[in-house]
Amino acid sequence: MLKKLFGFLGIIVVLIVVYFLVWPVPVEPVAWKAPPNPGYSGPFARNSRLKGIETLPLGGNHGPEDIALDRKGRIYAATHEGRIVRLQPDGSNPENWAETGGRPLGIDFDNQGNLIVADGYRGLLSISPQGEVRVLADTADGIPIRYADDVDVAADGKIYFSDASTKFGARESGGTMEGSLLDIMEHGGHGRLLVYDPATGKATTLLKGLNFANGVAVSPDQRFVLVNETGSYRVVRYWISGALKGRAEPLVEGLPSFPDNISTGMGGRFWVALVSPRNPLLDGLSDKPFLRKVIQRMPAFLRPKTEPYGHIIAIDSKGKVVADLQDPDGAYPINTSVTETEDYLYIGSLVTPVLGRLPKAKAGIR
């Protein structure tokens, strides 16, 4: 009887080993070398400057990925439920203003007062002041836009936006978080920076090969566009005018966290929301694609996860960190975006049932 038991256990062990070695998974990890992690030191030294966040109600919605304000000062938030929630300038009376039928992520107003939406499920959308939704682009250069992520409208009306992953679409992967985790685990360079030209009604590719192309911001002088490469912990600059037009270069590298959205602030600042600290295991296995594949075969609860740490930074046009605001306790966690006004920083989150607003005076931001 004992011999049969050991034989049965042996078979189970073999099956488990075989499973972890050969069971098919959707990722084909690529070897790369993660840059050194500066951790919370130097310009990223731990602080509590983000602790003064106020919260605004979202009317039963959650996950305010990005925030935009219209000409009347009304506040708009893109939520997990697929709704655009509108609040009054004082943050009161949340209303379900529009529904995209997908998952709205980055948002920005164009010169005509339309809300431009990077929808993770549907592509690039435009919502009229009356709340009417239409698709601007769901393909670029014949390739489906499978994970429209962030968007910024230039002064000339052109719309710059990201397609985070052409392989791991948000809808096909089971959600935006699921798609991002797959793309970052593979590190296969499936992200794109795109531009939509209202004059032609077409979207085209400016830059490809990015590892989870995320936040997008046009510089105040309209000379370049910044795009966050979440999977590589960096911010990339793409020149759209001048002698360097068409060139790309890293502006910031080796961030201590995964950068999500980026936005153009005031005083020459660009705000970067850092969604979660880097994972030492993921970094340590960056050049070991086989072991990353093994990890992907583990149950989801055993794989690397995001940590609830509040963190946003501001950089200048040379990539220097000029402001760093943190909340190590993660009271308002998993920060996805920052929208700056004269008095406030509106801060997005992937998970919260409220919208965060930080008085600049309280944070020492001028």
Under 8 Å between Cβ of 297 and 25: yes
Range scoring the smallest mean pLDDT among 2-6, 175-179, 262-266:
2-6
pLDDT at 366: 87
- In the three-class reduction of DSSP (H, G, I as helix; E, B as strand; rest coil), residue 282 is classed as helix
Report the candidate in 282, 261, 259, 273 with the shortest Cα–Cα distance to residue 327.
273
The pLDDT, as a whole number, for residue 113 is 97
Q: Distance between alpha carbon 44 and the CA centroid of its chain, in Å?
A: 20
**What does the pLDDT read at residue 19?**
45
User: Which are the contacts of 48, defined by CB distance < 8 A and separation ≥ 6?
Assistant: 326, 327, 328
Contact 91/59 with Cβ under 8 angstroms?
A: no
Question: How confident is the model at residue 14, as a pLDDT?
Answer: 47
Between residues 143 and 299, which one has the greater pLDDT?
143
pLDDT at 1 over 80: no
Residues 194-246 have pLDDT tens digits of 999 999 999 999 999 999 999 999 999 999 999 999 999 999 999 999 999 99
* Distances from the Cα of 333 to the Cα of 251, 309, 315, 337, 345, angstroms: 26, 5, 21, 11, 15
Q: Can you point out the beta strands (E) in 34-190?
A: 54-57, 67-69, 75-78, 83-87, 95-99, 104-109, 115-119, 123-127, 133-137, 139-140, 143-144, 148-153, 159-163
Between CA 128 and CA 156 the distance in angstroms is 19
φ, ψ for residue 363 (rounded to 5)?
A: -95, 0
Q: Is the pLDDT of residue 68 over 70?
A: yes
- Going by pLDDT thresholds of 50, 70 and 90, the confidence category of residue 302 is confident
Has residue 11 got a pLDDT over 70? no
pLDDT band at 15 (very low <50, low <70, confident <90, very high): very low
Both tokens of residue 111? 């010169």
The whole-number pLDDT of residue 106 equals 98
Q: How many CB atoms lie within 10 A of CB 187?
A: 21
120: Cα within 13 Å, side-chain hemisphere = 32
User: Tens digit of pLDDT for each residue in 113-122?
Assistant: 999 999 999 9
Q: State the pLDDT at residue 21.
A: 52
Q: Residue 261 in 3-state DSSP?
A: strand
pLDDT category at 95 given cuts 50, 70, 90 is very high
Q: Contact, 198 vs 157, CB < 8 A?
A: yes
Residue type, 292: R
Distance CA 158, CA 27 (A): 34
How sure is the predictor about 3, in pLDDT bands with cuts at 50, 70 and 90? Answer: low
Between the CA atoms of 274, 276, 282 and 287, what dihedral angle is there, to the nearest 10 degrees? 0
Place of tokens 């189970």: 12
Mean pLDDT of 1-9: 59
Q: What is the mean pLDDT of residues 309-322?
A: 98
Domains of the chain: 2-363 (2.120.10.30)
Non-local CB neighbours of 79 within 8 Å, separated by 6+ positions: 58, 61, 62, 63, 64, 65, 85, 104
CB-count exposure of residue 246 (10 Å: 0-12, 13-18, 19+): exposed
